[in-house]
Structure 1
Amino acid sequence: MHTPSSKYLTLAALIVTATPVLTAQNPKPLPFNLPQAKPGVVALAASAKPGAGSQASALKGQYALSLRGASVGGTSPSRETTAVGSIVADGRGHITSGVLDSNSAGMAGETPVTGSYTLNADGTGTVTLNITSSNVETFTLFVSQEGGKVKSATLLESDSKAGASGSLVRQTVSGGPEGSFNFRLTGETFETSGTPNAVAVGGTVDISQGLAQGIVSFFVGDAGHDTAFVIPPVALQATLTTPDQTGRFLFTFNFTPDGGSATQVQFVGYVVDSTHFNLLPVGPPSAFLPILIGSAVQ
């Protein structure tokens, strides 16, 4: 039986300490900003049928955003790209405000965004996110409506920068998470050479007034030995900050793997509603902090 190396045991335990909280100061582009999009691709994504925008009023309000994919081009073996955030649509084709957090080889912190969108009668449209003056991301939009309002939508990146897809879900931010949640995260290790390894995290947590306790387990692949292993469930304790108006909060996990050192991992969360929030690690990915994205539900 193969015994995993200490490096991969460390990876599985996600051993990081004193992870800095990234702020909106000097924001960097999202990880999807790699080669410039081909003009033909952008033109195709942005072209609209007659009557484009005729349903723009159906997309109005605050929406939680989640994206996952793989970057196009570049030299890093780690291509995983992830982002979570919140945007506000005005019902007239404008994204008036928003914020994104991303986790990838091109890590960006808390980054403000604006943008625009179109929505056609057939439920398709486009979304353009202006992340910085030099970083604009374009997506094809597919929506489902309820009572003439968009409750949720699928996003597909259409600018040739990344093969990313994700979702928009109508947000209801009325406070921090409370109660019992199960959570999951998936992704891969960050590597500067060699093959990234698959990583998955799962567990349950009970949250009350900003404090939490629960159980967490880890799966980590070991591509170098063509195998994988699981760290059995261990107890965790956590603290949560109060969400701001975008639903954004910080979720700090503390746990000690069997035979390991006390470990602290910090995530950024976005409240979707009282039963659901999205999760993403805070801090640039490293040899000890994988690229991950996930969610928690009741």
Structure 2
Amino acid sequence: MYLGEISGLKIGQATRDAFGDALKDLGDKHPEIVTVDGDVGNSTRTEVFAKAFPERGFNVGIAESNMVSVAGGLASTGHIPVVASFAAFLLCNAYDQIRMSIAFPGMNVKMVGTHAGISIGEDGPSQMGIEDVSLACSLPGVVVMVTADAVSTKAATAAMVEHNGPVYLRLGRPNVAEIYSEGDTFEIGKANTIREGDDVTIIANGLMVAGAVDAATKLAEEGISARVIDMHTVKPIDVDAIQKAARETGAIVVAEEHLAHGGLGSAVSMVVSQSTPVPMAYVNVGDCFAESGDPQGLLDKYGLTADAIVEAVKKVK
């Protein structure tokens, strides 16, 4: 079962597909955009842009560290490089180059990590980016976004191109539920409330937003009113939205397709502990590597489900 089906949400594009389409559409408006690829453009969908603008698409081969360094160099000449690979390859393989060639000098490079999380399925743990948000957030000056659906991904792609400075955008492989409608508001650093509620707040990002909506639907049947917030920007995080939720609902559950440490849960906890302490619970991959398997089976096994969110809510209410 797809996350979102309990609530009757339509299943739409994968976020990586929406990114590829959006980047191509931005090509004419922003002639300074170039793509830098590590021989996986057919998977990251940068090939959509590169086919439309072949003179602006660079494939450096399976060499992620070199790929990042090339992107930093292109940024220094006034280009807007969009450097893309699997999240695990980009953030883990090339972390030092990201640190020194992009983050430290504050280069205007847009980093896109696709195939993030355990939902890539059969590709297995070596290719599952489950620590990427933590690594990206640790870099000073880097904006970190994790989008929930196709519409928000297209908006985030445009926003990151307009933003002056390094950005990391995390995308997934599977088709996901449609959370947003065309024209809905999207702003870096400003969370979106997907569903109002008074008893508890579920803060989520990525495909877990649909899981949060499903959980809220199930909780409503038991008389529990759950607010759902899409915290699409992990850094800079929306402090006001978190503080407001803590004050008004008195309890928070954070759901993410990421390790327990250093991701959205850690960022939300930092805000809550410093301002409005309330009971909190977490739904995430935990402190382990996953395994190879079908995507739905993995989500079920590692507790990234609406039922797991419902259980977490009951721990704090």
Bigger proportion of residues as strand: 1
Q: Greater Rg, structure 1 or structure 2?
A: 1
TM-score by length of 2: 0.25
Bigger proportion of residues as helix: 2
TM-score by length of 1: 0.26
Higher relative contact order (CA 8 A, sep 6+): 1
